[in-house]
Amino acid sequence: MNKEQSHRKHIPLYAKILLGMGLGLGFGFLAMALHWDGFVHDWVAPFGAIFMRLLKLIAVPLVLVSLILGVVSLKDIRNLSRIGLKTILIYVCTTILAVSIGLVMVNMMKPGRFFPKDKQTEFVERYQQTVTERQTQMQQVQDESPLQFVVDMVPENLFQAVGNNSKMLQVIFFALLFGVALIGVGQSKTVSVVRFFQQLDLVLLKIIDFIMSFAPIGVFALMAALIVDYAGDMGIISALGMYALTVVLALAVIIVLVYPTLLRIFSKKKLGQFFKAVFPVQMLAFSTSSSAATLPLTMERTQKHLGVSEEVSNFVLPVGVTINMDGTSCYQAVAAVFLAQVIGLDLTFSQMLLILATATISSIGTPGIPGGSIVMLMIVLDSVGIPIEGLALILGIDRPLDMLRTVVNVTGDTTVACVVDDTKK
């Protein structure tokens, strides 16, 4: 190894990502001041788009391969159902807790009262088109049978499932089925198949290493483009300041109180070690706003830096990235009650409970992509009679809040992986 290589190796990933983010932010503000919007749009943003594509490219094969290996390494179906049930139970409990925190926060801070009434018509006009588009998507979801989501989990064509990033639940279904069948056939007869997947996993990890070496440039471009896109929208930030603050505080409670408490009670991991390991994952989630795109790094850090066994992380993380979204569900509760406050709708206790139920369920169906929860949020609003058009009031500030809730989503998955791993005996 030459001097330059060894020097490069010593810069930790989090420092590189942080540097990329910091420089991207700085460059974004500079570009905004100097009106370089066109340059950023044409020559910087594409690098962010390439980085996002690479991360998404690897997400589906990674979920498929690691989940199959996860199931096989559990060796028998009883182990799988025990760990599976435990994982789902913890995921549901943390989600309910997250929504409750959101509800308490928004009822305490009442951000709806601070929203300037004159902005209401302006925002409704500005986001009319986006709301109409989302509304059509929501109606499609609502016209279906209540069991449609179960039907949707079952793929009718494997290649269509793996060919569509939004069909992650179908990929999970197939991986579980395949893994269970491998166990059923028996270890001695499936040695080569299992070895094939193990070797494939090594190759995927290598690809992730390559992609991650591009991370500093990728996050630089993503941040710079984001700042330039937001340039004209500072008015929105001030009008929605109290709402944003409520979301931020609720999410902070989850990160600072809920997860550390869970780790202290149920895991042997030291908090310092946990947050050090998870920091680059959080930074990447923040820059990409996508927990699915962050999955490769989440898996690598959870295994290598937190020492969570492969059998647990290969199972808990791919499932979590799809169904466990504490940040998203908490945000949906705050957003729904905020909009009710703005339009002067007094929600009863049973309506709050309805929000608790719908936000919990809808976060399970939310894809781990930027803005993934918007359509699902409409279902939450509709369940308690809040006009869907109200969404226009909060869309303008959605991206920064999305970045933060994605950070919570990935931290939640990692926390649960540690808890399941340390309580598996």
Closest CA to 17 of 206, 228, 221, 207: 221
Least distance (Å) between residue 400 CB and ligand ASP: 12
Q: Which of 295, 200, 219 is nearest to 19 (CA)?
A: 219
Amino acid occupying residue 403 = M
Structure tokens at 300: 């690598």
Rule CB under 6 A: say whether 370 interacts with ligand ASP.
Answer: yes
The answer to whether the beta carbons of residues 148 and 142 sit under 8 Å apart is no
Task: Tell which one of 267, 302, 373, 414 touches ligand ASP (CB under 6 A).
Answer: 373
Q: How far is the CB of 289 from ligand ASP (least distance, A)?
A: 5
Residue 209, Cβ density class (10 Å: 0-12 exposed, 13-18 middle, ≥19 buried): exposed
Q: Cα 261 to chain center, whole Å?
A: 21
Q: Which stretch binds ligand ASP (CB under 6 A): 53-61, 115-123, 302-310, 361-369?
A: 361-369
- Name the residue nearer to ligand ASP (CB basis): 74 or 407: 407
Question: Which value, to the nearest 10 degrees, does the dihedral of the CA atoms of residues 381, 251, 309, 14 take?
Answer: 120
Alpha-carbon distance of 133 to 121, in angstroms, equals: 19
Nearest distance in Å: CB 366, ligand ASP: 5
| Contact pattern from residue 315 through residue 354 relative to ligand ASP, giving x for each residue in contact according to CB under 6 A and a dash for the rest | ----------x--x--------------------------
* Of 374, 368, 327, 304, residue with least CA distance to 169: 368
Nearer to ligand ASP, 68 or 98 (CB): 98
CA distance 127 to 125: 6
Q: Which of residues 122-151 bind ligand ASP (CB under 6 A)?
A: none
Query: Which range of residues in 131-139, 245-253, 337-345, 400-408 is near ligand ASP by CB under 6 A?
Result: 400-408
Residues 168-187 that bind ligand ASP (CB under 6 A): none
Q: Measure the CA angle with vertex 163, ends 332 and 361; round to 5°.
A: 20
Q: How far is the CB of 122 from ligand ASP (least distance, A)?
A: 24
Among 309, 293, 262, CA closest to 410: 293
| Phi, psi of 240, deg, nearest 5 | -105, 20
Identity of the residue, 358 or 409, whose beta carbon is nearer to ligand ASP in the bound complex:
409
Q: Residue 239 CB, nearest distance to ligand ASP (Å)? A: 21
Stretch that binds ligand ASP, among 8-16, 60-68, 152-160, 398-406 (CB under 6 A): 398-406
CB of 51 to ligand ASP, least distance (A): 15
Could you tell me the two tokens for 355? 């929000």
Is the Cβ of residue 120 or residue 165 nearer to ligand ASP in the bound state? 165
- Work out whether 409 is an interface residue with ligand ASP (CB under 6 A): yes
Site map 271..310 versus ligand ASP, x via CB under 6 A: ------------------xxx-------------------
Is 263 an interacting residue with respect to ligand ASP (CB under 6 A)? no
Nearest approach, Cβ of 412 to ligand ASP (angstroms)?
A: 10
Closest C-alpha to 313, from 418, 195, 172, 424: 418
369 binds ligand ASP (CB under 6 A): yes
Angle between helices 13-33 and 215-230 (to 10 degrees): 30
Angle made by CA atoms 366, 316, 98, in degrees to the nearest 5: 50
> Which C-beta is closer to ligand ASP: that of 183 or that of 388?
388
CB within 8 Å of 196: residues ≥ 6 apart: none
| Contact predicate 199/69, CB 8 Å | no
Quote the CA–CA distance of 111 and 386 in Å, as a whole number. Answer: 16
Q: Which of 371, 395, 400, 423 binds ligand ASP (CB under 6 A)?
A: 371
Query: Measured from the CB of residue 292, what is the shortest distance to ligand ASP in angstroms?
Result: 6
Nearer to ligand ASP, 73 or 298 (CB): 298
Which part of the chain contacts ligand ASP (CB under 6 A), choosing from 42-50, 172-180, 382-390, 405-413? 405-413
Instruction: Kindly determine how many residues on this chain lie close enough to bind ligand ASP according to the rule CB under 6 A.
Output: 16
Reduced to 3 states (helix: H, G, I; strand: E, B; else coil), residue 397 is: coil
CB of 246 to ligand ASP, least distance (A): 16
Told to check if 412 binds ligand ASP by CB under 6 A, we report: no
State the number of CA atoms in the 13 A half-sphere of 304 facing the CB. 8
Residues making contact with ligand ASP (CB under 6 A): 289-291, 325, 328, 366, 368-373, 402, 405-406, 409
